[in-house]
Amino acid sequence: MVHSFGRHGALIIITIATYRELCYSEVMASPEFTLQIAMVLGVVLVTVILFITEWLRVDIVAMLVMVALSLMGLVDGREAFQGLSSTAVISIISVVIMGRGLDHTGVISRGIQPLLRIAGKSRQRIILMMSTTVAVISSFMQNIGAAALFLPALQRMSRQTKTPISQLLMPVGFSAILGGTISLVGSSPLIMLNDLLRPFNLKPFSLFSVTPAGIALLLTGICYFLFLGRWVLPQKAEADDDADEASPNPLVYYPELARLYEIDFPVHAGGKGIKAQELCDQYNIHPVILSFDYGKHIIMPPDRELRIAPGTVFAAYGSPGHVRQAAQDFGFDIKPELDLFVEELSQDMSGVVEAIVPPHSQFIGQTLMEVRFRHNYLLAPMAVVHQGEINYTKIGFRELEPGDVILMHGRWEYLQQMRPKRSLLFAQSPEHEILKPLKARTALACFALATAMVVFTSLPISVSLMTGALGMILFNVLSIDEAYQAIDWRTVFLLTGLIPLGLAMQKTNAADWIVFHLLTLIGTPSPTLFFLTIGFITTLLTLVVSNVGATVLLVPLVVGMAGQVGADSRLAALVVGLAASNAFLLPTHQVNALYMGPGGYSAKDFLRAGMPLSVCFLLVLTVVIMLLY
């Protein structure tokens, strides 16, 4: 996706680079320290302090920056709010909507199952696999796009493995940034690099010239979190976990239904089998789903009169003792975990709730068999509580009375359909997102269309991606309200507020003033110290100016200085292009801003985890440049 920048920005970049070459001697003269520079630096200082202290939320700080810069006359009113229409922000919104559509149709859920089977519930294996995958994709795709697509998958993996989302998002997000250093089209600064070198008649870099350095940096990042993650990552639970605490799993109050088992009734076991009703009443085992053909056709829930015969696979709730007894009597094979029905019985598709029979219910005086509860409502009752007594067996023959509690399992969509009828009052909320697996092909087609438009047309990347997002809305993959809900507006305003700050840094020459004085401090160092220093300067400048702006500003300067200190000019430019991805200290990078809200991160979290990694980044980059280039 980053190819779009190269097509549309090349002329502008060449113009800037040529100008800097012609005016090199003037640039190296000390820029005059003006009142505007002092004002911009003051805004930067206050912004960083507010980010770190968290006296205000980061999005409010960003909005204050937008307004303050305009009120101080550092940018005009149109420039102050141009971030709201920037290509980066529109692209992020579009990719987030498409990611939500892919998740909403179950595409992402099915896609992560092979990864979960390999990684299991190991946090380190999940980080290793997901970080590697997102880095490879980021090496040829805009890293914010890769990060946005992986966000729903990481959230699902967090819920299914009970791993705090804060332990996953930051490592994967940083890997997405590092993945942009693997190829020359992995990030905007590297795409620009050859255009910036052309006016100086320096040999251009090839597509994979940066790969050795990029791989070394990526391995550094992954190993950093694998070995030090438990100390540097915040131990925060996902927002959904708080909701779970407020609405606990009702099964904790029903000890006879302690666990959900997937059971295989092998053909060689023989016999006639047993009806679902008999399994409930004789063994206190309650089937909620089954298949006669190993998953080709699924019945959920099975009718009580349906016979479970050899060759059937079913899932049921029960106690370990009862399940083992039934397995011994009929020759069942008890699977160690869900396999065939893992998707249908995931928390995203179905669940268990309690419902109270109110005085006005149409069910009063009737039994569940008379109501044909399973058949008419597609829900599986597993227990009835009457006057404080839990009844697990023969519940279909008991007349319902006001105040009775029914424990039931079913798909969220069918539980939600019961709610408006008011015949039952739910003790736990059945309001869960309803997946649309039938729309999976439509969602994939919209995503494929957007990707093809980015790669094969000259349209702006924001237009191409928004086309895919609108396609998902128009073809009912998502409603417009669901699309709005998918967007983290804190991320949007955080990014739009920082864009005019970078513009003000460049308009007032504040960035030039900082760079000049930092470069003056280093004097005439050795090539090794020179590369380390310009990497450090690039890292600092990237925090307040976009990585593109930092690269355009620094490359012409370091190319000229490299000759004075006996360093390779091309390598000096390469250090700047790579160090522009060393953006881990604050949530100012697009990927960090995107993951900040879902991960529940603060600016202090980025500082704690990002500062050691930034130091490692600079050291590894310097060593690799000196040894391999």
Q: What is the mean pLDDT of residues 600-624?
A: 94
Q: What pLDDT, on the 0 to 100 scale, is given for residue 51?
A: 84
- 343 in any annotated domain: no
For the record, the structure tokens of 591 come out as 């990927």
What mean pLDDT value characterizes the chain?
86
Q: Is 431 contained in some domain?
A: no
Q: Which of residues 17 and 355 earns the better pLDDT score?
A: 355
Cβ atoms < 10 Å from Cβ of 445: 15
Would residue 341 count as lying in a domain? no
What is the per-residue pLDDT for 560? 77
- Domain contains 197: yes
Binned at pLDDT 50, 70 and 90, residue 270 comes out as confident
Per-residue DSSP letter, 408 = E
* 23 vs 234 pLDDT, higher one: 234
Global pTM value: 0.75
Residue 245: predicted pLDDT: 44
**What are the φ/ψ torsions at residue 86 (nearest 5 degrees)?**
-70, 155
Residues 6+ apart with CB under 8 A from 88: 144, 495, 499, 590
> Are 96 and 174 found together in one domain?
yes
Decide if 439 is inside a domain. no
The confidence score (pLDDT) of residue 237 equals 52
Same structural domain, 294 and 379: no
Same domain assignment for residues 531 and 416: no
Residue 206 and residue 96 share a domain:
yes
Q: Is the pLDDT of residue 284 over 50?
A: yes
Q: Which amino acid is at 376?
A: N
Whether 437 is in a domain gets the answer no
> pLDDT tens digit string along 566-585?
889 999 999 999 999 999 99
Please say whether the beta carbons of 30 and 512 come within 8 A. no
| Residues 322 and 232 grouped into a single domain | no
405-422 per-position pLDDT tens digit:
999 999 999 999 988 888
**pLDDT at residue 124 above 60?**
yes
Domain count, the chain: 3
Residue 436 lies in a domain: no
For residue 505, the enclosing domain spans 3-239+449-628
Q: The sheet that has 312-318: what strands, in order across it?
A: 286-291, 312-318, 259-265, 333-334
Tell me, yes or no, whether 345 lies in a domain: no
Q: Classify residue 205 by its DSSP letter.
A: P
Is residue 19 predicted with pLDDT exceeding 50? no
pLDDT recorded at residue 296: 85
User: Which of 334, 358, 391 marks a domain boundary?
Assistant: 334
Q: E strands, 324-433, where?
A: 333-334, 350-356, 380-386, 389-391, 405-411, 425-426
Claim to verify: residue 566 and residue 487 sit in the same structural domain: yes
Residue 238 has pLDDT above 70, yes or no: no
Is the domain of 359 the same as that of 328? no
